[in-house]
């Protein structure tokens, strides 16, 4: 878990962890799979395991606000961090399906997720157990939300 200015000097990469990103302040450019995107405050992004990506400086934002750094929350986790069959249990299948959809990358808007707004700001200050429970709550809200967009086209494979 990182809640800090984004590291915008990273390279194109992928990793086995699912990545959850909440863009709180500033504008960031990103390449997700084969798509180019601009991420703004209030964007919530879920990237599936091994989905190639990179976040980069947005030149317009940097020009207008040279002293401001884009800031947000990044949480990485492996899909089976609670056990191999956890997201296959009836109570958690919606999250399992969300993680499958995230293989193409998903973008949500915070306005569509009023029940998790405070959680996104509080999660860095929580104890480990409450942090995991809060992450499950956030993932459940994302799973139930129908207002989202894919960041890569159908059939995208890396």
As a whole number, mean pLDDT of residues 51-78 equals: 95
Residues of the chain above pLDDT 70, percent: 99
Structure-model confidence comparison of residues 158 and 141, the more confident one: 141
Residue 85 CA to its chain's centroid (Å): 22
Kindly report, residue by residue over 104-140, the tens digit of the pLDDT.
999 999 999 988 988 998 999 999 999 999 999 999 9
- 34 CB contacts (<8 Å, ≥6 apart)? 152, 153, 156
As a whole number, mean pLDDT of residues 7-36 equals: 94
As a whole number, mean pLDDT of residues 24-39 equals: 96
pLDDT tier at 84, thresholds 50, 70, 90: confident
pLDDT tier at 74, thresholds 50, 70, 90: very high
Burial of 95 (0-12, 13-18, 19+ CB in 10 A): buried
What average pLDDT does the structure give for the chain? 93
Residues of the chain by 3-state class (helix, strand, coil), percent to 5: 35, 30, 35
Q: Which parts of the chain are beta strand (E)?
A: 2-5, 18-25, 28-32, 35-39, 43-47, 53-57, 71-77, 106-109, 148-150
Q: Which residue has the tokens 């993932």?
A: 139
Residues of the chain above pLDDT 90, percent: 76
As a whole number, mean pLDDT of residues 47-58 equals: 96
b vs e for 27-53, b when ≥16 Cβ sit within 10 Å of the residue's Cβ?
bbbbebbeeebebeebbbbbbbbebbb
Task: List the one residue out of 133, 135, 132, 145 whose CA is nearest residue 101.
Answer: 145
pLDDT for 158 beyond 80: no
């Amino acid at each position: 878990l990182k809640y800090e200015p984004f590291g915008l000097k990273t390279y194109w990469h992928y990793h086995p962890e699912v990545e959850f990103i909440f863009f709180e302040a500033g504008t960031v450019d990103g390449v997700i799979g084969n798509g180019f995107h601009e991420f703004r405050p209030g964007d919530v992004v879920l990237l599936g395991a091994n989905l190639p990506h990179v976040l980069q400086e947005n030149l317009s934002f940097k020009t207008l606000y040279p002293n401001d750094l884009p800031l947000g929350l990044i949480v990485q986790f492996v899909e089976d961090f609670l056990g191999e069959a956890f997201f296959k249990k009836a109570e958690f299948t919606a999250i399992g399906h969300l993680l499958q959809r995230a293989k193409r990358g998903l973008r949500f808007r915070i306005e569509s997720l009023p029940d998790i707004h405070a959680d996104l700001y509080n999660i860095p200050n929580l104890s480990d157990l409450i942090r995991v429970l809060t992450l499950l709550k956030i993932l459940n809200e994302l799973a139930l939300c129908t207002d989202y967009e894919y960041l890569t086209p159908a059939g995208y494979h890396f």
